[in-house]
Amino acid sequence: MLTRSLDALASPYLRGLIPYSPGKPIEEVERELGIRESVKLASNENPLGPSPLALQALREALPNVHRYPDGSGYRLSGALASHWDVSPDMVILGNGSNELLELAGRCFLQPGDEAVYARQAFVVYDMVVQVTGASKVTVPLRDFTHDLDAMRAAVSSRTKLVFVGNPNNPTGTAVSVRALEAFLESVPSDVLVILDEAYYEFLPPELTPDALRCVRAGRLVLVLRTFSKIYGLAGLRIGYGIGPAPLIALLNRAREPFNTSSLAQAAATAALRDEQHVASTRAITEAGRKSLSEQCRALGLSVVPSVANFVLVDVGRPGPATADELLRHGVIVRPMAGYGFPTHLRISIGTPPENGRCIAALKAVLSK
């Protein structure tokens, strides 16, 4: 029998923490609503599925799952290091890039410190800061895009971390290369900038920054990337960070020894060299984003111009209720009220038939 309430026993910083809501499993939603063949456009996954090379590597790795994985991720870190022209001690692997966001929070933040990030950015930044008891300094977006000048101005002598998601989730926007580089140069050298590039591979060339140049020059920047999006391995949970070697060594001190699985490491190593899969994913995403955006606009909806594999659409009526209605048509999208966009939906780009289902459902729901 507890003599204190569980809440009193827990860290006070957990109070007010709202758990991330990933939504119900698709099979459960279908069962409850009596629908079949629904399309999931809610988590910015790869509609083409995993890379075939990754699937082959998984089959080959399966017989060895009784062994612990290589805790250092030697092969994958080495492959990433040569892919990005950095040394292996500048690479850290994570159970999704999400784990690396958390690890950074744990390693750097404590009560009294400040972390700066955009008010409408990936919700995990907020959770990471909240559990440490550090102060949240949030900066509104400008034109649905990170306002780097305002973020720079929000950095104080108490700031330890700055999070920049580029492209940003949930808006799908990216900052200009020049603005980002100027920002990275201008942040004090003892503040860690976490540049979250989960959707990096979808960026058009003119908006693709070379933040690794800053990292190679020794600046305190941690670039985060993931195998969950363009590489289609979200279910395996594998991401990585690239930063100056001393920063990576520090993060490794607090990292769980076997944080990434042998299957994830094998699949990611193979996916990294599957250029064809990456190119097809990019192509289907670009075409799908263009057509989905145009068709939404033809329905009179405003769409935030996106460079990622999702679009933020203003449906002009309460987003959560609209998402519920779309669900009844078998289309799963993400309402964005929790991000301060009460009438917006975030729609991931699917295959052409999936996008078509989404538009048909939107038409049906909006005409009611």
Beta strands in the chain (DSSP E): 39-40, 91-94, 114-118, 135-139, 159-165, 192-196, 221-226, 239-242, 302-303, 310-314, 331-332, 334-335, 344-348
Least distance from C-beta 298 to ligand PLP, angstroms?
28
- 3-class DSSP assignment, residue 174: coil
CA angle 202, 207, 211 (to 5 degrees): 90
Q: Which residue number, 96 or 244, has a Cβ lying nearer to ligand PLP?
A: 96
Write phi, then psi, for 211 (nearest 5 degrees): -70, -20
Least distance from C-beta 51 to ligand PLP, angstroms?
16
Q: Which residue number, 234 or 337, has a Cβ lying nearer to ligand PLP?
A: 234
Least distance from C-beta 44 to ligand PLP, angstroms?
6
- Which sign does the torsion angle of CA 12, 14, 15, 16 carry? positive
Sort strands 159-165 and 114-118 into parallel, antiparallel or unpaired: parallel
For residues 315 and 337, what is the distance between their CA atoms, to the nearest angstrom?
12
Nearest residue (beta carbon) to ligand PLP: 96
Least distance from C-beta 143 to ligand PLP, angstroms?
18
Write phi, then psi, for 166 (nearest 5 degrees): -140, 110
Least distance from C-beta 171 to ligand PLP, angstroms?
10
Q: Which residue number, 295 or 335, has a Cβ lying nearer to ligand PLP?
A: 335
| Core vs surface per residue 1-29: b (16+ CB within 10 A) or e | eeeeeeeeeeeeeeeeeeeeeeeeeeeeb
Q: Which residue number, 38 or 44, has a Cβ lying nearer to ligand PLP?
A: 44
Least distance from C-beta 77 to ligand PLP, angstroms?
16
Report residue 226 CA to chain centroid gap.
Answer: 8
Q: Which residues bind ligand PLP (CB under 6 A)?
A: 44, 96-98, 122, 165, 169, 196, 198, 226, 228, 234, 239
Q: Which residue number, 101 or 362, has a Cβ lying nearer to ligand PLP?
A: 101
Helix (H) or strand (E) holding 264: helix 262-272
The strand pairing partners of 171, in sequence order, are: none
CA neighbor of 227 nearest in space, from 4, 24, 51: 51
CA neighbor of 344 nearest in space, from 138, 140, 200, 172: 172
Least distance from C-beta 5 to ligand PLP, angstroms?
32
Report residue 243 CA to chain centroid gap.
Answer: 18
Least distance from C-beta 243 to ligand PLP, angstroms?
16
For residues 148 and 263, what is the distance between their CA atoms, to the nearest angstrom?
38
Least distance from C-beta 349 to ligand PLP, angstroms?
14
